[in-house]
Amino acid sequence: MLQVAKGVNYLHKNRVVHRDLKSHNILVMRMKCRDGKEFVCAKLADFGLSKTKETSTTFSNQTLNTGTTRWMAPELMGPQTSESQTSTSRSDEIKYPFKCDVYSFGMVCFEILTGEVPFQSTSSPNAVKRMVLDGKRPILPNDCPNYLKDLIQSCWKSDASIRPSFGDICVILKTLKWSLITKFQEI
């Protein structure tokens, strides 16, 4: 999770929005150190939907309904048309373009924790869209630590403006990593 977050943070610092962050677009390799120890190295791939903006953090030239539905942020799904709410008109302007990657990252974390595709039991992309627009999210495992559950749920917020930035996500994950390492060393 931390390596993926660092990768997306690097993109965002360089004004690139990935827009199709999902497990299929993360390459994982097993690497060996000179001392024989092994580690996993994650790399982001498939920048076909990426958008860049060199001069402004309010980059809003995004097209709705692009990306892969199961990982797509609600603000990219277009107007709401669910049973519980009436259709609303909205402009194509996305105020927080970098936060769509944050939502998708939450879905990737869900996959890492469970080994399941988000909304696996739903086969229709339109059904997934309705669920997401209605505020439904995948169920995290009961044994998921609360601090990680809180982070993922903050990534899944419907209001993009209150989702954390990848800088914040990296700080949280680094802190969690070091606290876990310290905890295991004490055992």
Residues designated catalytic: 20
Nearest one of 177, 150, 155, 168 to 106, comparing CA atoms: 155
CB atoms within 10 A of CB 36: 6
Which amino acid, one-letter code, is at 52?
A: T
Could you tell me where the DSSP H helices lie in 43-165? 99-114, 125-133, 146-155
Per-position b or e across 1-28, b if 16+ CB within 10 A of its CB: bebbbbbbbebbeeebbbbbbbbebbee
